[in-house]
Amino acid sequence: MKFVVWRSLARAAVLESIRRKDLWVVAILGFLIIASAGTLGLFGFGGLESFAKDLAVTVLGIFSTIVAVLTSCRMLPEEIRNRTLYPLLARPISRFDLVFGKFLGAVAVTWIGFLMLGAMSALALSMFHVRFEIVMLQYVVLKMLGLAVLCAVGIAFSAFMTPSAAATLAFIFAFGSGVMIRALVMAGQASPQLQPVMLSLNALLPQFGLFDVGSRVANEGWPPVGLWVVGVLLGYAVLYSGAMLALAWLRFRRQAI
């Protein structure tokens, strides 16, 4: 029963995204990627395999992050603003079901957009005669896990603040968490007394950089990461996403609607 409810909510979120033309924008971006790659190919740029791969993972990372943040941060607020939440809660659907179903919908929309861009990027890379490597597949899998964590963070933020504020904060964490983590590490090393505090803050921050193996994809000769690393990152994604969804549910259950 729970699975049917979650699937229905996720499907509704995907259909709503299609109605809003979000995925069409992603398709247009993918077309522009292919057109740009084809133009470079016509001019005979050779030896640009590393550049092409680096550009592909950069574009994938930026635009998939934008889709994840904008999609997840509007899921719950739009239901409340459009008053479509009331008929949902009138059914035998708990608030946790709603939060988790919306999370699955945000992840589905983000993954669809990411895979669309990934397919377009793969076609563009083929124009540069870039050969397939196992690390590319690992990049896709790990990036999808990282995007799922980002969706959970976006939904948690949207439960405590306005959609625009939640999206802004999510973008700051998505693109700036690496700088924040390095700053905390340096602060802990500079002041041993504060090191436990800095380590605690570091543990609370979402470690999005762990899911990005784009540098391995862009550079030749890098071996794929071990399967045990993928397993650890999968566990981290499940635990951190679960914690964020629990926060969103605790806030949502107390919210007067």
Domain ranges of the chain: 2-254
- Do the beta carbons of residue 228 and residue 196 sit within 8 Å? no
Exposure pattern of 145-182 as b/e (b: 16+ CB <10 Å)?
bbbbbbbbbbbbbbbeeebeebbebbbebbeebeeebe
- Do the beta carbons of residue 244 and residue 153 sit within 8 Å? yes
Write the pLDDT tens digit of every residue in 155-165: 999 989 888 99
* Residue 46 confidence (pLDDT) above 80: no
Write the pLDDT tens digit of every residue in 7-33: 877 888 888 877 777 667 777 766 676
pTM (whole model) above 0.85: yes
- Average pLDDT, whole number, for the chain? 82
State mean pLDDT over 118-135. 78
Q: Name the one residue in this structure whose structure tokens are 């399967």.
A: 227
Q: Report how far residue 72's alpha carbon sits from residue 62's, in angstroms, rounded to the nearest whole number.
A: 16
